[in-house]
Amino acid sequence: MSTQSPTPAPGTDTVPAVDAARASEDRSARIAVTVFPALILLAAAVGFFAPGFGQTLAPYTSIYLGVIMFAMGLTLTIPDFALVVKRPLPVLIGVVAQYVIMPLIGLLVTIVLQLPPELAVGVILVGCAPGGTSSNVICYLAKADTALSVTMTSISTLLAPLMTPLLTLWLAGSYLPVDAGAMALSIVKMVLIPVVGGLVVRLIAGKLVDRILPALPWISVAGISLVVISVVSGSTEAIVAAGGIVLLAVILHNGLGYLIGYWTARLLRQGERAARTTSIEVGMQNSGLAATLAASAFSPAAALPAAIFSIWHNLSGAVLAMYYRRSADRHQADPVRAVSV
């Protein structure tokens, strides 16, 4: 759900068309991220109250996730990766924080709340997932650094086949057996191939893709909704038994991710916009991937934290975006100049 579009050279006759496409995509993204939590709540209700219907969707969760990742790939362009060379430090901080802070917070939360093994693995797996696809839109709405957000999400996603299985094995292996190899292969199939495929299609048919950019956030919303219906429908007993404690775990995990992500960037002398971007990128996870992996590698109960995280982090992200947006004027004169923001 990136808000990035390729920008032609000034003076070309394609500029107005691209600007119009970008404006349309931005409007669509703002609407999508606003109604997203409501649609996810509706999806959760459908899964809970009509579990039979949800179970008919469950065998195809990997396909839904692949479609989401392909849509994400369609939003990417080669310049989105240029920041790795132009501004490597903030990108490195964001990606490292993503794969250090959230996994460790997830482990800490499971220990403090003394979660049972299946729920503990689910929480840790959420922490080991890459950045969420809606984080780019939240950064845009928060007046953070959207280009930096896109790059962070892209890099963390491309690293997911390696980082997510290894971290899950390391942190969650004491709770349940973890087949890191099978998990890595699943991520390659569901994430890496679709994202790269979308990027290639964007390179080949950029003008055509520009026309459908406004629809891409809605494809992501629909895909995540189907994943939530599938996961919740298989976790109705777990929701009744442990829904409250899982919600608490998710709130703590997400909130601490925002807070620690922000102050990590600031302590490393990043500017205000870069710090807000790191905060959002760290706190918002690819919960659709975590839910799909948990359901296939462990059990529907293990996917419950990811399903609840999907609902909560979009609600909290929208609120955080409003807060950051309102506070943006106070930080126009940013005292930290170590990195251009």
Give domain limits for the chain.
Answer: 16-326
Query: Which tens digit of pLDDT belongs to each residue from 35-82?
Result: 777 887 888 899 999 999 999 998 888 898 899 889 888 888 888 788
User: What pLDDT is stored for residue 341 in this prediction?
Assistant: 37
Asked whether the predicted pLDDT for residue 114 surpasses 80, the reply is yes
Q: What is the mean pLDDT of residues 17-37?
A: 60
Alpha helices (H) along 50-179:
51-57, 61-75, 83-86, 88-113, 117-128, 135-141, 146-172
Q: Which of 165, 167, 211, 201 is nearest to 184 (CA)?
A: 165
Q: Which long-range contacts (CB under 8 A, 24 or more apart) does 54-58 make?
A: 54/229, 54/230, 54/232, 54/233, 54/234, 55/230, 55/233, 55/234, 57/226, 57/229, 57/230, 57/233, 58/230, 58/231, 58/233, 58/234, 58/295
Tokens 């971290």 belong to which residue?
167
The rounded distance, in Å, linking the Cα atoms of 314 and 284 is 8
The residue that leads in pLDDT, 296 or 330, is 296
- Which H helix or E strand runs over 183? helix 180-187
Q: Which of 68, 81, 258, 64 is nearest to 154 (CA)?
A: 81
What Rg do the C-alpha atoms of the chain give, in angstroms? Answer: 19
Please, are residues 125 and 288 in contact by the beta-carbon 8 Å criterion? Answer: no
Residue 193's CB: how many other CB atoms inside 10 A? 16
Say if residue 158 is exposed, middle or buried (CB neighbours under 10 Å; 0-12, 13-18, 19+).
Answer: middle
CA 177 to chain centre: 26
User: What pLDDT is stored for residue 49 in this prediction?
Assistant: 93
Asked whether the predicted pLDDT for residue 300 surpasses 50, the reply is yes
- Fold that domain 16-326 belongs to in CATH: Na+/H+ antiporter like fold (1.20.1530)
What is the DSSP code string of 68-89? HHHHHHHH--GGGGTHHHHSHH
Please, are residues 250 and 44 in contact by the beta-carbon 8 Å criterion? Answer: no
Q: Which two tokens stand for residue 60?
A: 């195809």
Residue 2's CB: how many other CB atoms inside 10 A? 30
The rounded distance, in Å, linking the Cα atoms of 305 and 257 is 15
The rounded distance, in Å, linking the Cα atoms of 238 and 236 is 5
Q: Which of 302, 228, 318 is nearest to 42 (CA)?
A: 228
The rounded distance, in Å, linking the Cα atoms of 94 and 89 is 9
Query: Which tens digit of pLDDT belongs to each residue from 162-191?
Result: 999 999 999 998 888 889 999 999 999 998
Where b means 16+ CB within 10 Å and e means fewer, 96-121 reads ebbbebbbbbbbebbeebebebbbbb
Q: What is the mean pLDDT of residues 195-208?
A: 90
CA 153 to chain centre: 7
User: What pLDDT is stored for residue 333 in this prediction?
Assistant: 46
Stated pTM of the model: 0.81
Q: What is the mean pLDDT of residues 102-123?
A: 95
Residue 13's CB: how many other CB atoms inside 10 A? 7
Tokens 């599938």 belong to which residue?
230
User: What pLDDT is stored for residue 3 in this prediction?
Assistant: 44
Q: What is the percent of the chain with per-residue pLDDT over 70, rounded to a whole number?
A: 86
The shares of helix, strand and coil residues in the chain, as percent rounded to the nearest 5, are 80, 0, 15
Q: Which two tokens stand for residue 154?
A: 């892209």
